[in-house]
Amino acid sequence: HRLLLENAEQLVLVCGRREPYLRRDGAARLGVLRAASLVVGLDGCIKAVGQADVIRNEFSEATFERIIDCSGKCVLPGLVDAHTHPVWAGDRVHEFAMKLAGASYMEIHQAGGGIHFTVEHTRKATEEELFTSFQHRLERMLRAGSTLVECKSGYGLNLETELKMLRVIERAKKSMDIGISSTYCGAHAVPKGKTATEATDDIINNHLPKLKELKLSGEIHVNNIDVFCEKGVFDLESTRRILQAGKDIGLQINFHGDELHPMKSAELGAELGARAISHLEEVTDEGIVAMARAKCAAVLLPTTAYMLRLKQPQARKMLEEGVIVALGSDFNPNAYCFSMPMVMHLACVNMKMSMNEALAAATINAAYALGKSDTHGSLEVGKQGDLLIINSSRWEHLIYQFGGHEALINYVIVKGKVIYENERCETMSSY
């Protein structure tokens, strides 16, 4: 076997009965085992989870590549970041000052900043430059506990640059240990010199057929399609056309909706069979009910609402209506946050989620939003051995310590392989 984790103070399963997602009532009862052990096989999948003495007896004859004593520590599933924009060049630190001085997101966007600024720099950057910075960002996400990350294109807005970004993501999928779900987001903004209708036609007639061709030849495998459905960007009808065309070539629908204005994005997503919709700060009550019924996940991004001083998404209302709530960092030049523990903390404080709900939202439900909850998001036999060991006797420290993950996350493990070991934890007592 590849790995034995022995005698953890707490082992947080998240789910124990192969649930594909947890709604509010399920999240209230996260499975937590005490004095527990876990075994990962050579295939990278979990072989056994249970009481330490039972596992010790059962595997007394087995050999392991690595044994980690987890006494006084907690084991949790690897975190899943359900929404990021990590491939780009040129930061927007200058815009942060503008935002602090009161400029709105759309004011900056219309003045040629925002997405347009990043597009200009990303178009000029070489594939190698983009890959290097992307790799560093993924490493920082890993050290903060993310083992599966959704990664979008969307700073090209022309076919050539969008493909350059998707090739960079494909390369990371093959060369790095972190799990990646890739998203084509060519409809992130309307390119300069085009109308929304022209941009929509270009995506449907040129971009998507090319993606289908590259998928068939095995060069690029894209998982999801995304559109920024927003007033002054892509309206409901353009959004519908693009998402449907993406669905027709086998992509999961996972898009930006109802962020700055109520657009009826949630209703549209439910109707089209979307897997997930992100943002939803301005979602209507009808939209919430429609998403709950359609089992369409809500990917909430407390970082964005926090940094742009927007109204926070109505997490409580969604949970009470039975929506599957997931979380993402929305890492991008506008919301520069790599850390899902900080996202969970903000979700609890600003969106009034409980710690159990936030953990479920950053594990099993975020995996569900990416169509991966059969393999990721909980510590169950048969699932991929992606997990964290934290240097604390209570798992809640992962959320309670705001920005404390640098000295708290002791190990990050993917497929039973230790890919990050934090030396700092060895010199500090458990706290």
Domain end, chosen from 351, 370, 389, is at 370
Q: Do both 142 and 192 map to the same domain?
A: yes
Instruction: Give pLDDT, residue 428.
Output: 65
Average pLDDT of the chain is 96
Q: Give me the domain span that covers residue 62.
A: 3-78+378-421
Sites in the chain below the pLDDT cut of 70? 427-431
Q: Do both 259 and 339 map to the same domain?
A: yes
Q: What is the pLDDT of residues 7-58, one digit of tens each?
A: 999 999 999 999 999 999 888 889 999 999 999 999 999 999 999 999 999 9
Q: Do both 109 and 241 map to the same domain?
A: yes
Looking up tokens 């903004």 gives 189
| CB contact at 8 A, 39 and 387 | no
CA 56 from chain centre, in angstroms, equals 35
Instruction: Give pLDDT, residue 205.
Output: 98
Q: Do both 155 and 288 map to the same domain?
A: yes
Q: Do both 259 and 116 map to the same domain?
A: yes
101 within a domain of the structure (yes/no): yes
Q: Do both 22 and 134 map to the same domain?
A: no
Instruction: Give pLDDT, residue 271.
Output: 98
406 within a domain of the structure (yes/no): yes
431 within a domain of the structure (yes/no): no
336 within a domain of the structure (yes/no): yes
Q: Do both 208 and 308 map to the same domain?
A: yes
Q: Do both 68 and 118 map to the same domain?
A: no
Beta bridge partners of 395: none
CA 77 from chain centre, in angstroms, equals 14
282 within a domain of the structure (yes/no): yes
Q: Do both 59 and 189 map to the same domain?
A: no
Domain end, chosen from 345, 370, 395, is at 370
Instruction: Give pLDDT, residue 424.
Output: 85
Q: Do both 191 and 254 map to the same domain?
A: yes
Q: Do both 70 and 103 map to the same domain?
A: no
Instruction: Give pLDDT, residue 213.
Output: 98
427 within a domain of the structure (yes/no): no
Instruction: Give pLDDT, residue 221.
Output: 97
Q: What is the rounded CA–CA span in Å between residue 121 and residue 132?
A: 15
CATH of the domain at 24: 2.30.40.10
335 within a domain of the structure (yes/no): yes
206 within a domain of the structure (yes/no): yes
Domain end, chosen from 370, 387, 405, is at 370
The total number of structural domains that make up the chain: 2
CATH of the domain at 108: 3.20.20.140
Q: Do both 223 and 238 map to the same domain?
A: yes
Q: What is the rounded CA–CA span in Å between residue 58 and residue 402?
A: 39
CA 66 from chain centre, in angstroms, equals 29
Instruction: Give pLDDT, residue 354.
Output: 97
